[in-house]
Amino acid sequence: MEFEVRTGRGSYPVYVERGALKKAADIIGKARKVFIVTDSGVPEKWVDMLKVQFRDAGLFVFPQGEASKNIQTWSAILSAMLGAGVTRSDTLVALGGGVAGDIGGFAAASYMRGIRFVNVPTTVLSQIDSGIGGKTAVDFGGVKNSVGAFWQPAAVIADPDVLSTLPRRQFSSGLAEAVKAGIIRDPQLFAIFEKDDFADHIEEIIRRSLLVKKAIVEEDELEAGSRKLLNFGHTLGHAYESLLGPDACLHGECVAMGMMAMLDSPELKARLAKILERLGLPAKCDADPEKVLDLVRKDKKAGRGRITAVLADAIGKAYLKDIKIEELRGRLAR
Ligand SMILES: NC(=O)c1ccc[n+]([C@@H]2O[C@H](COP(=O)([O-])OP(=O)(O)OC[C@H]3O[C@@H](n4cnc5c(N)ncnc54)[C@H](O)[C@@H]3O)[C@@H](O)[C@H]2O)c1
Ligand SMILES: [Zn+2]
């Protein structure tokens, strides 16, 4: 399947197709000079599959994990690009999960004031969520994603076949974002997870999640309003992430617990809890509520003791509400 994401400056194609990685050069442009940014956890066979399609492709491999998403890695990528003689007309291709996409995208946004960027997401999370939307970043000063840029890709190539090597825990964690997309805007997507055979529908899950994100980022490219809906489960999720550390609790696992806390209806909570159990995702965080609240206060989105909370009273109908951070206390207790 192929669809276009419209942005303020044009649009870019997103391909969701088994076997797409093998043919990536047809989309990127065979004659182009490419510089591939990936991490040490992306299996070599996927890196080779991409690299062999180009003559003299540059390659930068950084150590896997969120700990690498920093200015030092970004700077090392830029040095390697300079060393390899990458010019303004070349293309940076990020191959990997959200970390490779975010840092590769930021390197593309900043190198020579911005070069062409193609994203080839290889985790569930990056295929259904971080791969589109144009947000690029590194973590800085102890704050996640605090330095970055909006930089739209020229194309996104999501090949569900590459998910075959992804560890199960990463797989489930990524699916939390798909459950989120269902709660925000797509009851049919949510319903897929309520059936036992959800794993047989991975392509449809990726496609539907991307369409939810596409609709929302097209409405609000620079996150002035409705794009905040995508933060459902993330206000608390990010706090859990900082508190527990990204290895103890993966992003999607933290979002799962964050989503549970933001639902009020007992019926919806029970439905979500059942899905999380099926996916092997946690539903409740045991972290100290006071520490969680402190972290929410410190979060860049928490001005003047208030935050824009994302709430949902019905599946597919999330909405924004300005609330006092103190109001989260009750949610953390239950
Ligand atoms: N830009 C956005 O809009 C946006 C949205 C959501 C999340 N994010 C960011 O995404 C990041 C998390 O992304 P992630 O969950 O993909 O983590 P990740 O990029 O760290 O990937 C998870 C692990 O899987 C490995 N891996 C990748 N592809 C693989 C494959 N096909 N087979 C086997 N192993 C593979 C990686 O090496 C890594 O160890 C966070 O930094 C988060 O801030 C960005
Ligand atoms: Zn997320």
Placement of tokens 């103890």 in the chain? 248
Confidence check: pLDDT of 265 > 60: yes
Of all atoms in ligand 1, which is nearest to the CA of residue 252?
15
Pair (85, 183) in one structural domain: no
Nearest CA to ligand 1 atom 7: 130
Distances in Å between the Cα of 317 and the Cα atoms of 77, 141, 263, 333 are 41, 35, 12, 25
Query: How far does residue 53's CA lie from ligand 2's centre (Å)?
Result: 32
- Same domain (yes/no): 119, 248: no
Residue at a domain's end among 113, 133, 165: 165
Number of structural domains (the chain) is 2
pLDDT in tens, 147-158: 999 999 999 999
The answer on 178 and 120 residing in a single domain is: no
pLDDT at 302: 56
* Residue 303, pLDDT above cutoff 80: no
pLDDT the model gives residue 245: 85
Task: Fill in the amino acid letter for 88.
Answer: R
Q: Is 123 near ligand 1, meaning CB less than 6 Å away?
A: yes
Residue 300 has pLDDT above 60, yes or no: no
pLDDT (0 to 100) of residue 124 = 97
Look at residue 260 and tell me whether its pLDDT is greater than 60. Answer: yes
Residue pair 182/133 in contact (Cβ under 8 Å)? The answer is no
Q: What is the pLDDT of residues 213-254, one digit of tens each?
A: 999 989 877 777 889 999 999 999 999 998 998 778 999 999
At position 245, the amino acid (one-letter code) is G
Q: Which residues of 199-228 are buried (b: 16+ CB within 10 A; e: fewer)?
A: eeebebbbbbbbbbbbebbbeebebeebbb
Q: Are 207 and 1 in contact (CB under 8 A)?
A: yes
Is-catalytic flag, 119? no
The answer to whether residue 209 scores a pLDDT higher than 90 is: yes
pLDDT-based confidence at residue 11 (cuts at 50, 70, 90): very high
Note the ligand closest to the C-alpha atom of 133: 1
Helix axes 234-244, 251-262, angle to 10 degrees: 130
Token readout for 88 is 């303004």
The CA 293 to ligand 1 mean position distance, Å, reads 26
In this structure, the answer to whether residues 61 and 117 fall within a common structural domain is yes
231 carries an active-site annotation: yes
**Two tokens, residue 146:** 């605090």
The reply to whether 309 and 265 lie within a common domain is: yes
Tell me which residue has its CA closest to atom 13 in ligand 1.
98
My answer on whether 27 and 78 are in the same domain is: yes
pLDDT in tens, 183-195: 999 999 999 999 9
Q: Is the distance from CB of 315 to CB of 182 less than 8 angstroms?
A: yes
> Could you tell me if 120 and 226 lie in one domain?
no
**H or E stretch including 6?**
strand 2-7
pLDDT at position 143: 81
pLDDT value of position 110: 98
Q: Is the CB of 96 under 6 A from ligand 1?
A: yes
3-state SS, residue 158: strand
* DSSP for 211-279, written as a single string: HHHHHHHHH-TTSSSGGGGGGTTHHHHHHHHHHH-TTTS-HHHHHHHHHHHHB--HHHHHHHHHHHHHH
- Indicate which residue of 51, 69, 251, 331 is catalytic: 251
Domain of 20?
A: 2-165
Average pLDDT, the chain: 94
Query: Do residues 235 and 296 touch, judged by C-beta distance below 8 A?
Result: yes
Query: Distance from CA of residue 6 to its chain's centroid?
Result: 18
What is the CATH number for 260?
1.20.1090.10
User: Are 197 and 232 members of one domain?
Assistant: yes
Environment class of 79 (CB within 10 Å of its CB; exposed 0-12, middle 13-18, buried 19+): exposed
- Is 187 found in the same domain as 159? no
We report the CATH number of the domain holding residue 39 as: 3.40.50.1970
Which residue owns the Cα nearest ligand 1 atom 3?
Answer: 130
- Helix, strand, or coil (residue 14): strand
> Same structural domain for residues 100 and 128?
yes
Q: What is the pLDDT of residue 151?
A: 96
Residue 91: closest CA among 151, 141, 168: 151
Would you state the pLDDT for residue 174? 97
The answer to whether residues 223 and 151 belong to one domain is: no
Under the phi-then-psi rule, with left for phi > 0, alpha for psi from -120 to 50, and beta for the rest, what region is 41?
alpha
Number of Cα atoms under 13 Å in the Cβ half of residue 105:
32
Whether 152 lines ligand 1, by a CB cut-off of 6 Å, is: no
Shared domain check, 296 and 156: no
* Ligand 1 lined by 125 (C-beta under 6 Å): yes
Q: Is the CB of 126 under 6 A from ligand 1?
A: yes
User: What pLDDT score was predicted for residue 199?
Assistant: 84
pLDDT at 196: 82
d(CA 282, CA 276): 7
At 14-66, the pLDDT tens digits run 999 999 999 999 999 998 999 999 999 999 999 999 999 999 999 999 999 99
Domain end, chosen from 117, 138, 165, is at 165
Q: For residue 307, give the nearest of 218, 215, 228 by alpha carbon.
A: 228
Q: Look at residues 4, 156, 154, 9 and name the one whose alpha carbon lies nearest to residue 91.
A: 154
The pLDDT score that the predictor gives to residue 10 is 87
pLDDT at 301 over 90: no
Return the H-helix or E-strand segment holding 94: strand 91-96
> Is 135 among the residues known to form the active site?
yes
Of the residues 165, 200, 217, the one at which a domain ends: 165
Return the structure tokens found at 72.
């030092």
